[in-house]
A = this chain, B = another copy of it.
Amino acid sequence: MIRTEWIPQAYRDIETVAVNKKHMKQLNELQEIISDAVKELNFPGYPAQLYEPLTYILSLGGKRMRPALLLMACDLFGGDVDAAIKPALAIEVFHNFTLMHDDIMDNAPLRRGHTTVHERWNKNAAILSGDVMLVEGYKLMMQVEDRLLRPILDIFNKTAVGVCEGQQLDMEFEELDHVNIDEYLNMIRLKTAVVLGGALKIGALIGGADVKDAELLSGFGENIGLAFQLQDDILDVYGDPEKFGKQVGGDIISNKKTYLQIKALELANKQQAAELDSWTALKQFDAVEKVEAVTAIYNALNIRQYAEDVMQQYADKAFEALDAINLPEEHKQYLRNFADGLLVREN
């Protein structure tokens, strides 16, 4: 006996595989599409000093991960990736607007190895070019079907507000002696994870996902983003310097507030707390000695394990959201591979 559900399901699976084979683009292909599209972005020529910084900062490269994720989400739901390019560029333009303004606030001389906009031009130029860049972001984001205009702009607004809030908290936390874990996690969520979630959600809607699936994919992205950020904190102390590509202990040397630092202060006994505080207060020190001493306290308090547990919790949440999405298994596997690629555990 043939079960009635069987044929359509099988048929759907076959179609899915076909769609999959035909459509699913690899991340590096999507990044390439964005890189090419960025090169073709044309801003007005006058006033030159207003628009040149936009072209300049966008030419400095970067992995184009956020817009590529937007395209990926569209592709996952079988949408036309070409129709998602302008909104994907909006995400990249928006991201670079935040970099332009963040660099002023952080007094950063370099961005991706090149002079920052406020150094190359001046602070006023970086403020005003950033402003017009945000508007250009909106103009690009509006290049979607009418029926998607409001939902997509709602997501974009939320994302933009989140990033501003995250940056504000990040600046405030630098001035504070103590920040608690929840505040820290909320800050990194707003500053970095919300954009990933937003980009995926917008791409999913353009790709034809319903609101529920788009929301689930957004949750996947936000939680993966949080896990990734925590991994970054962990790798700074425990990463293989050759694989990591940064100075091990850079966060410790610069007294950066990270999950590890905050958790250590939370769990430290009086003597350990005093030792951590004294390292923080020292203006002159031997970097290797400081990193070793602080890491020894982290080890004594088992901080790495705490951090990895929380990171794992976020990864689990991401995969739960993924399980619930109505997508063919191959597409979910694609996302799992993507997440596994991001979260390269070293232990």
Contacts from A to B (Cβ < 8 Å): 44, 46-47, 49-50, 101, 104-105, 124, 127-128, 130-132, 134-136, 138-139, 142, 146, 149-150, 153-154, 157, 160-161, 164-165, 167-169, 171-172
Contact = CB atoms under 8 A, between A and B. Distances in A.
A287 to B, nearest CB: 28
A127 B164 CA distance: 10
Contacts of A164: 50, 128, 131-132, 135
Nearest to A50: B168
Q: Which 5 residue pairs across A and B have the least CB separation, nearest first?
A: A132-B164, A50-B168, A105-B124, A135-B160, A47-B168
Given A127-B127, A132-B161, A135-B157, 4 more contacts: A128-B164, A131-B134, A135-B160, A146-B150
B138 A153 contact: yes
A85 to B, nearest CB: 19
A87 B45 CA distance: 30
11 contacts: A47-B172, A50-B165, A105-B127, A130-B131, A132-B164, A135-B157, A135-B161, A135-B164, A139-B157, A142-B153, A142-B154
A147 to B, nearest CB: 9
B150 A128 contact: no
Contacts of A47: 165, 168-169, 172
A134 B131 CA distance: 8
Contact of A128 (B46, B105, B153, B154): B105
A326 to B, nearest CB: 27
B168 A49 contact: yes
